[in-house]
Amino acid sequence: MNEVAAIVVTYNRKDLLLECIDHLMKLNNTKADIIVVDNASTDGTGDLLKALTDSGSVIYCNTGSNTGGAGGFRFGMIEALRRGYKYLWLMDDDAFVSADSLDELLKADSELDGRYGFLSGMAKWTDGNPCKMNVQKTGLKKSLKDYSSPLVPVIMATFVSFFVRAETVMEVGLPIKEFFIWADDMEYSRRISLKYPCYAVNNSSVIHKMAVNNKVGIENEPQDRLWRYKYLYRNEVYLYSREGFTGRLFLFFRVALHLSRVLFKARESKREKMKIILRSYREGFKFNPEIEYYNKI
């Protein structure tokens, strides 16, 4: 058994998943055991991985139902802790790590003597530019700008090459499964950075193979994808409300900004989109999920 568990959450994207696994299996020096968490895919993902699971190259876990990214990473982290891994390395199924990415994360771990909360790899899009969905936060309203320093202090990061020590997870708890999708990683990383210094590791790169290099926006979404945004806005209220007055002020201006985008940019369903934003923000102030701890499950 290796010290590092690479936890990959997937749902109905078997071709991307195979590419993700292939990159993980080609790491240079330090190797990672691969834990695939399947959110009950219906595209034959489990059957496709059978040869890899039979050979021991991949540890395959099926959640039994679609628990979203939040539930999937929670599931995988529990499995990794149960198996006794020292480090947990989280990523989506469309994240393709570079051959030296894990070496660079462990180099940072050594240089910091383990005195950090989390490390975040540098996510790039397929053209080599920073992936806009994964730019780390250096402040509530500030995004990472320094891509040259080996280590840059950050307070929030996504679950695309997210590296954390098992002992830290034991202390701060697990991702909140009720988030389902969106902001679960930002909440979790912020929960950690409130206690410990955390860093982006610029030399540890990963390609995030999204269809386009854009941030999501409800104003441009079609009708069949609007349901997802109730999680985004509700979860963000939980996240930023913990920051006190500054966080609540940020939320106020964020609501105004998103409503104005819908009003002036949306081509369809303007009324419904505005209702989703307002209703979900209101629900967020009543949203109070329990943080779970591994030793209490």
Q: How sure is the predictor about 216, in pLDDT bands with cuts at 50, 70 and 90?
A: confident
- 289's CB contacts (< 8 A; 6+ apart) are 176, 177, 178, 179, 238
Looking up tokens 């995030």, which residue turns up? 208
| Domains of the chain and CATH, by start | 4-214 (3.90.550.10), 218-284 (no CATH)
How confident is the model over 94-153, as pLDDT tens digits? 999 999 999 999 999 999 999 999 999 999 999 999 999 999 999 998 999 999 999 999
How confident is the model over 47-75, as pLDDT tens digits? 999 999 999 999 999 999 999 999 999 99
pTM for this predicted structure? 0.97
Mean pLDDT score across all residues of the chain: 97
How confident is the model over 6-32, as pLDDT tens digits? 999 999 999 999 999 999 999 999 999
